[in-house]
Amino acid sequence: MGPLRPLIVQAGGRLLWRTRSGRATAIRHLELLAAAIEARGYRCVRHYQADDFPTWRPLLWILAFSPDDHVRLTVSARATPGRTWAYYEAGRGRRGYLSPCDDTDRAADHVDRLLKHRMFPSTW
């Protein structure tokens, strides 16, 4: 096998521009979701601060606590066709679609239902 070329070269430089410009947009959308979620009483851990891991995909951990246990949902914001953005459950990839980023209240409702179901599985 020959030497592997870097991913940036294979994508023709397009991936680097998309990652660099899209990171700020993804962080802005995740901040809006974090504000909506925190208003409902959940805690958020932001994994996209500049000092953390600047090259990783921006992630938002949403935590729900009970006296006995806790659950977590990891959300990312991704670009979608048509110059729009959507929230996704990070561990599920494209199958983890939650809501478009334009409707933060709907996304917060969906996250609320998912966390309640994970905390109390019989409440779906």
Nearest CA-CA partner of 92 in 108, 117, 75, 112: 75
The pTM (predicted TM-score) of the whole model is 0.77
Domain positions in the chain: 25-119
Nearest CA-CA partner of 40 in 123, 121, 115, 118: 115
How far, in Å, CA of 124 to CA of 121, rounded?
A: 7
DSSP β-ladder status, 97-100 and 84-89: antiparallel
CB 26 within 8 A of CB 85: yes
pLDDT tier at 31 (50, 70, 90 boundaries)? very high
Q: Give the pLDDT confidence of 67-105 residue by residue, as tens digits.
A: 777 899 999 998 888 888 999 998 887 789 999 999 999
